[in-house]
A and B are shown apart, each in its own frame.
Chain A
Amino acid sequence: MTESDILVEVRDLKVHFPIRRGVIFDRTVGHVKAVDGVDLRIVRGRTYGLVGESGCGKSTLGRALLQLIPPTDGEVRFDGVELTTLPAGRLRAMRRRMQMIFQDPMSSLDPRQNVESILTEGLHAHGIGGSRDERRKIIGETLDAVGLPQWALSRYPHEFSGGQRQRIGIARALVLGPELIVADEPVSALDVSIQAQVVNLLDELQDNLGLTYLVIAHDLAVVRHISDTVGVMYLGALVEEAPSDRLYTEPLHPYTRALMSAVPVPDPDVEDRRERILLSGDLPSPANPPSGCRFHTRCPWAQPTRCADERPVLRDIGGSRVACHFAEGIASGELRPHKTSGQVVRPEGEGDDPGVVSAPSEPGSFV
């Protein structure tokens, strides 16, 4: 694997959302550490899968990678170009090479735009396709590629089924001929049968066009199915990164193990045989993450030493990268899990909107 094979390199990426409050002027009183020091590399033409619980920072990472959210700290290199310091104009030009697919196919399509204008918008922005015919041709090819009929062009998003909408979203990303596609939960809003269609489509496109994917999902099975490398995130940081098959056969991090054991498999035999590692409690608040190993509050293998005060770094263990002080011990069965009593956390972000109320929609009156 030479340097040129690496399309994306992320180093120590941090995205902290300030929590502002104050009497007159807002002061920053803390940060939601949505992404807190992530290193990863995505190999050209391969798929990197990212899993983790809701709120662990997957989407934020994906968006920060595309510079849709300005990162607080760290580097993002795309094909050798440092994106974080790129001026706005050049960044916009760069966007042609990296695209995004969204989770909710409805809300990510402008309901008042027909498919044609959804697809041409990007072309216009980058000046691709001089004439209308040329653009039509590009769009037509893209529609074919995602398996949508030509008559779709004049139609509006709400006239399509969920699967078709997601195809439109994919087509929108594809028309620009990108090299990297960040897919944020591309299938989680879809029905099982449709989900498979879209997964296959992504696979096919990669084969045909040599795309590089960063696929974000919370469904481990999906991620494992389409990824070459899988990264497991917990509370803003990677806890484990391994080739897809290896992650399944030899999960090293306790969190990965728990995750694996929790995914239901549509096979009664497997289901009956397996033992679940039940984690107690929920994800702690990213505004106030636990000290040391972020997972130690819920970890069945947490040890009295190190775990609570020393933050483990990702380290190589036989082809995987794991952020656990005791990964070897756990793998060999030396250490045994114990029942944890997790603290219960309040969900952050709920009920945070200050009491802003809107005016009634009646104009003033000279009563």
Chain B
Amino acid sequence: MTITGAKKKEKIDRLAEVTARDERGVSLWQEAFRRLRRNPAAIVGAAILTVFVLVALVGPFLVPYGPTDTMGIREGVIKPGVIPGPSGDHWFGYDHQGRDVFSRMIVGARQTLLVGVVATLIGLAVGALIGGVAGAAAGLGGRWGRMVDTVLMRFIDMLLALPSLLLAVSIAALLGASLTTVMIAVGMVSVPVFARLLRGSMISQAGSDYVLASTSLGVKKSKIALTHVLPNSLAPVIVQATLTLATAIIEAAALSFLGLGNPDSAVPEWGVMLADAQPYLGVRPALAIYPAVGIIITALGFTLLGEAMREALDPKLRK
């Protein structure tokens, strides 16, 4: 293998400026995304979720029957103890109210997604606010900051000491059973997790050298908290949010089981469907199995993606 002199020179020059490509830099987020794309777990998770989201978005327009159409009752095929199973017209059969299960599953995807996402956002927003303020106060705030932090954290401790179900049930009692209630109740349960996570992360970031560097540049503390400490503390919170999406869906189902789910049968939600199927387990267990499997697969999708994100965003694996 011989290379001509000019080529050699070129090669060496290129090497001397190895990274001198006229390209924009790759931020840590982009890096993480690249790693994510290479992770098979992430791909499986993302695939599940894509299907799920697609179904949630367009499915309701394509379903064969209305989700509240109690045709089985009209037709008189539903009797106590008799619920017809799958047929050519009704792929998943009727439910106990004589409605088409397939249509309800499809329409339910949207509600399920909505509950998961909004509940997580609520938890995230409240938790991140408390945790962010506490973390910034503790990390940068001096003596007053420590006091603010202590007060907020004691509050979080109290929330933690409350059994989560009691919290959810009492929220539901206060607000009445509705979709919003489920979202708020499930969201509130994850508040302490987000708050503690963000706070811990921010405190550790606040001790790092680049914060000191910014201070020495003369940047204000509030600005440091927002532009440096917060963005660098977000990774674990984002991962947690993804994982919480999964648990939120499951917990919404648990709330439905306790009779606190969304009452509006026009917008079926898988958790509610699962809960509603309980009295008919003896007649047609499939009524419970369809939504349960839906929930499990969706939760699995979020969890897979979350775990993959955890790996992708892990600073230890950063190279």
Which chain A residues have a beta carbon within 8 Å of chain B's beta carbons?
Answer: 63, 66, 68, 92-96, 98-100, 102-104, 107-115, 121-122, 125-126, 149, 151, 154-156, 158-159, 169, 172, 176, 358-359, 361-366
Least CB distance from B72 to A in Å reads: 32
Contact, CB under 8 Å: A363 / B215: no
For this complex, 11 residue pairs linking A to B, each with C-beta atoms less than 8 Å apart, are A68-B215, A110-B214, A110-B228, A114-B27, A122-B219, A158-B318, A359-B196, A361-B236, A363-B193, A365-B164, A366-B251
Contact, CB under 8 Å: A110 / B232: yes
Q: Within B230-268, which residues are at the interface with A (CB < 8 Å)?
A: 231-232, 236, 239-240, 243-244, 247, 250-251, 254-255, 258
Instruction: Please judge, given known A-B contacts A66-B216, A125-B220, A156-B28, whether A107 and B192 are in contact too, CB under 8 Å.
Output: no
Instruction: Please judge, given known A-B contacts A108-B209, A151-B22, whether A364 and B190 are in contact too, CB under 8 Å.
Output: yes
Interface centre among A107, A114, A172, A365, by most chain B C-beta atoms within 10 angstroms, is A365
Contact, CB under 8 Å: A107 / B209: yes
What's the Cα separation between A222 and B247 when bound, in Å? 56
What's the Cα separation between A92 and B240 when bound, in Å? 37
Q: Chain B: which residue is nearest A359 at the CB level? A: B196
Contact, CB under 8 Å: B209 / A364: no
Additional A-B contact list (19), CB under 8 Å, known A110-B214, A149-B17, A366-B189: A68-B215, A68-B216, A100-B213, A102-B212, A110-B228, A112-B27, A112-B29, A115-B25, A122-B218, A122-B219, A125-B220, A149-B20, A359-B160, A359-B196, A362-B193, A363-B247, A364-B160, A365-B251, A366-B254
Instruction: Please judge, given known A-B contacts A95-B216, A125-B218, A172-B213, whether A366 and B19 are in contact too, CB under 8 Å.
Output: no
Contact, CB under 8 Å: B240 / A361: yes
Find A359's partner among B192, B212, B247 (CB 8 Å cutoff).
B192
Q: Chain A: which residue is nearest B251 at the CB level? A: A366
Q: Chain A: which residue is nearest B235 at the CB level? A: A112
Interface centre among A93, A94, A99, A121, by most chain B C-beta atoms within 10 angstroms, is A121
Find A68's partner among B29, B212, B220, B250 (CB 8 Å cutoff).
B212
Instruction: Please judge, given known A-B contacts A149-B20, A156-B27, A358-B200, whether A364 and B217 are in contact too, CB under 8 Å.
Output: no
* Residues of A contacting B228 in the complex (Cβ-Cβ under 8 angstroms): 110, 113
> With an 8 A cutoff between CB atoms, is B10 at the interface?
no
Contact, CB under 8 Å: B197 / A95: no
How many A-B residue contacts, CB cutoff 8 Å? 130
What's the Cα separation between A113 and B189 when bound, in Å? 34
* Residues of A contacting B231 in the complex (Cβ-Cβ under 8 angstroms): 110, 112
* Residues of A contacting B105 in the complex (Cβ-Cβ under 8 angstroms): none
Q: Within B203-232, which residues are at the interface with A (CB < 8 Å)?
A: 208-210, 212-220, 223, 227-228, 231-232
Instruction: Please judge, given known A-B contacts A92-B218, A125-B218, A126-B218, whether A109 and B251 are in contact too, CB under 8 Å.
Output: no
Closest 9 CB pairs of A and B: A155-B25, A364-B164, A95-B218, A108-B209, A122-B217, A363-B190, A366-B254, A92-B218, A366-B165
> With an 8 A cutoff between CB atoms, is B26 at the interface?
yes
Instruction: Please judge, given known A-B contacts A110-B210, A112-B27, A126-B218, whether A361 and B232 are in contact too, CB under 8 Å.
Output: no
Q: Within B258-307, which residues are at the interface with A (CB < 8 Å)?
A: 258
Least CB distance from B171 to A in Å reads: 13
Contact, CB under 8 Å: B232 / A154: no
Q: Chain B: which residue is nearest A26 at the CB level? A: B146
* Residues of B contacting A111 in the complex (Cβ-Cβ under 8 angstroms): 28, 232
Least CB distance from A150 to B in Å reads: 10
Least CB distance from B217 to A in Å reads: 4
> With an 8 A cutoff between CB atoms, is B116 at the interface?
no
Contact, CB under 8 Å: A366 / B255: yes
* Residues of B contacting A115 in the complex (Cβ-Cβ under 8 angstroms): 25
What's the Cα separation between A12 and B230 when bound, in Å? 38
What's the Cα separation between A303 and B243 when bound, in Å? 67
What's the Cα separation between A156 and B32 when bound, in Å? 13
> With an 8 A cutoff between CB atoms, is B74 at the interface?
no
What's the Cα separation between A110 and B223 when bound, in Å? 14
Contact, CB under 8 Å: A108 / B19: no
Instruction: Please judge, given known A-B contacts A102-B209, A151-B20, whether A172 and B217 are in contact too, CB under 8 Å.
Output: yes
Contact, CB under 8 Å: A365 / B217: no
* Residues of A contacting B19 in the complex (Cβ-Cβ under 8 angstroms): 159
Instruction: Please judge, given known A-B contacts A155-B25, A361-B240, whether A100 and B216 are in contact too, CB under 8 Å.
Output: yes
* Residues of A contacting B210 in the complex (Cβ-Cβ under 8 angstroms): 107-110
Find A159's partner among B25, B168, B220, B255 (CB 8 Å cutoff).
B25
Least CB distance from A295 to B in Å reads: 30
* Residues of A contacting B22 in the complex (Cβ-Cβ under 8 angstroms): 151
Contact, CB under 8 Å: A96 / B254: no
Interface centre among B168, B189, B212, B251, by most chain A C-beta atoms within 10 angstroms, is B212
Least CB distance from B20 to A in Å reads: 6
Instruction: Please judge, given known A-B contacts A109-B210, A112-B232, A155-B25, whether A364 and B218 are in contact too, CB under 8 Å.
Output: no
Contact, CB under 8 Å: B209 / A95: no
Q: Chain B: which residue is nearest A182 at the CB level? A: B216
* Residues of A contacting B200 in the complex (Cβ-Cβ under 8 angstroms): 358
What's the Cα separation between A323 and B219 when bound, in Å? 39
Contact, CB under 8 Å: B218 / A93: yes
> With an 8 A cutoff between CB atoms, is B24 at the interface?
yes
Q: Chain A: which residue is nearest B27 at the CB level? A: A156
> With an 8 A cutoff between CB atoms, is B314 at the interface?
no
Least CB distance from B118 to A in Å reads: 15
